[in-house]
Chains A and B, each alone.
Chain A
């Protein structure tokens, strides 16, 4: 067993895990943070996207051990004082989801994009979502939601 320790949504978590424990298993099964989803489990669909040290990554393709000492943000860490993050609010407002399965990953990818590029073009948004698959919406409303969030966040 390995002892891993990381900061998740601002809180310190330390656990003993098997070396083969994936970060997404650590979040969901060891810490009960089930907002991060497992879709394909093959690093294609992006339902499991979280932020590790400020970058969006696929938590199904990262060992918890590799994230030892890291700062992690999950979908549970976005809302502040009961207020949704502007990207979450925009997804609701613009109907950027239907079944909602891909949504945590979509939102986490979008938040990372807007941190790196405050005014992305539609093409840049669509290219950034290359690694996030949605089988319901056809992406149009997701793109609209991200554009609206970008406007909102620029103020």
Chain B
């Protein structure tokens, strides 16, 4: 790891100021992706801005018909939180399936969302539930937030403070994990929301995406059979040593069926 300057701001305002002032700063939340990346010298920020001193970014609260989860809330906290388990059990299950217990004790929702790893779990939940990313400046709909591989709509000096999840009528998540890393080879999040049915897929392409054909089929009949014969094209899907694009395309249908079955309970 190359040397860097370390800062631990005590307010969101100070964190944003540090982001704007420094030459090549990076925010560290849990550090579960950033620190390994820095060790491999794939990232060499001039300054690390640690959000660990901002307790106001930690916590889960119910606000009207939605759950607001602070950016520094860990995966373990989301997984075991009783409000999340009661209101959006699929989200608690998703958080409890990220990495391993030690990673879940450090990794945060804000860090995962900002990183926008193509195989991360949370992006599927955000897009599938029609969540909003709350920053120090604005709210960004999940549909507009995830742009491409590790690319989001965040401005360079913008900081995620929380994520707002509308509570769905029902939702389910199913992933085919890489057996070593537990990242999604393909993960599908299905939700029946007040705004209609949403189907979001992670792991299969450069960024999370929705499958409108499945959403329409499920809107008229919410059952696994409705998506069983809907195939997605493999052309622009990821292909690597873990799975070919054709295999991933096949998995999208299988995981969608299982996610619908999970949502049915």
Contacts and interface: CB of A to CB of B under 8 A. Distances in A.
B52 to A, nearest CB: 6
B48 A49 contact: no
A119 interface: no
B8 interface: yes
B103 to A, nearest CB: 6
A37 interface: no
B60 interface: no
Interface stretch (A60-68, A81-89, A94-102, A134-142): A60-68
Interface residues of A, number: 29
A10 B50 CA distance: 25
Contacts of B28: 63, 66
B4 A66 contact: no
B6 A61 contact: no
Interface in B1-54: 1-6, 8, 28, 31-32, 35-36, 39, 48, 50, 52
B182 interface: yes
A41 interface: yes
Contacts of A39: none
Given A19-B48, A41-B39, A43-B36, A49 B102 contact: yes
A131 B50 contact: no
A132 B102 CA distance: 9
A15 B153 CA distance: 40
B116 interface: no
A30 interface: no
Contact of A2 (B6, B35, B39, B52): B6
A130 B100 contact: yes
A18 interface: yes
B1 A62 contact: no
B231 interface: no
A83 to B, nearest CB: 27
Nearest to B181: A44
Interface of B: 1-6, 8, 28, 31-32, 35-36, 39, 48, 50, 52, 76, 99-103, 105-106, 180-182
